[in-house]
């Protein structure tokens, strides 16, 4: 079955390190934004439906900021993947995209861990690459 991302999905090409992924974290049920000050935030990514190969992508977040999305305040987390991260993920023959899943692991100063999202995963995609254009 062909995998096709939606217009608002994050897509990056094999071997690329841009664009930077933006992950919005909405307010909790008490309408409070997550305070990431003093926390270590790590993005973990893998091919959809796998947990052994290839090894997961593990990246500390690039930065975060309070922003507004669709009229709601969110904490936007930014993840900068490397060209090695995206090059290591193969796209199946005859396909254009590989579906990926990810999560954020947030560790506060006390060592307490929160995984976001708590239900399902962050969905994103790697597009096959025709080449790098170097002659």
Tens digit of each residue's pLDDT (9 = 90 or more) over 83-106: 999 998 989 888 999 999 999 999
Q: What is the pTM of this model?
A: 0.90
* Res 135 pLDDT > 70: no
With 0-12 / 13-18 / 19 or more C-beta atoms within 10 angstroms meaning exposed / middle / buried, residue 81 is buried
For residue 23, the 8-state DSSP code is E
Q: What is the pLDDT of residue 90?
A: 86
Report the SS3 class of residue 124: strand
Q: Is residue 3 domain-resident?
A: no
Q: Please indicate, yes or no, if residue 12 is contained in any of the structural domains.
A: no
Mean pLDDT of 31-58: 91
Long-range contacts of the stretch 67-75 (C-beta < 8 A, 24+): 67/24, 69/24, 72/26, 72/27, 73/27, 73/33, 74/24, 74/25, 74/26, 74/27, 74/33, 75/24, 75/25, 75/33, 75/34, 75/36
Per-residue pLDDT band for 24 (boundaries 50, 70, 90) equals: very high
Residue 76, domain member (yes or no):
yes
Question: Is residue 133 included in any domain, yes or no?
Answer: no
Task: Tell me, yes or no, whether 4 lies in a domain.
Answer: no
Structural domain of residue 122, as residue ranges? 18-127
Q: What are phi and psi of 62, to 5 degrees?
A: -75, -45
Question: How many domains would you assign to the chain?
Answer: 1
Within-domain flag for 98: yes
Could you tell me if residue 11 is inside a domain?
Answer: no
Q: Does a structural domain hold residue 132? A: no
């Amino acid at each position: 079955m062909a995998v096709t991302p939606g217009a608002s999905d994050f897509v990056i090409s094999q071997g690329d390190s841009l664009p930077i992924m933006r992950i919005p974290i909405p307010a909790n049920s008490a309408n409070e934004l997550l305070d990431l000050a003093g926390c270590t935030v790590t993005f973990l990514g893998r091919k959809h439906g796998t947990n052994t190969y290839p090894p997961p992508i593990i990246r500390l977040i690039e930065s975060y900021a309070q922003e507004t999305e669709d009229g709601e305040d969110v904490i936007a987390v930014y993840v900068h993947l490397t060209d090695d991260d995206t090059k290591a993920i193969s796209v199946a023959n005859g396909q254009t995209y590989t579906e990926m899943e990810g999560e954020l692991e947030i560790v506060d100063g006390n060592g307490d861990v929160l995984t976001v999202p708590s239900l399902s995963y962050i969905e994103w995609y790697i597009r096959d690459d025709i080449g790098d254009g170097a002659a």
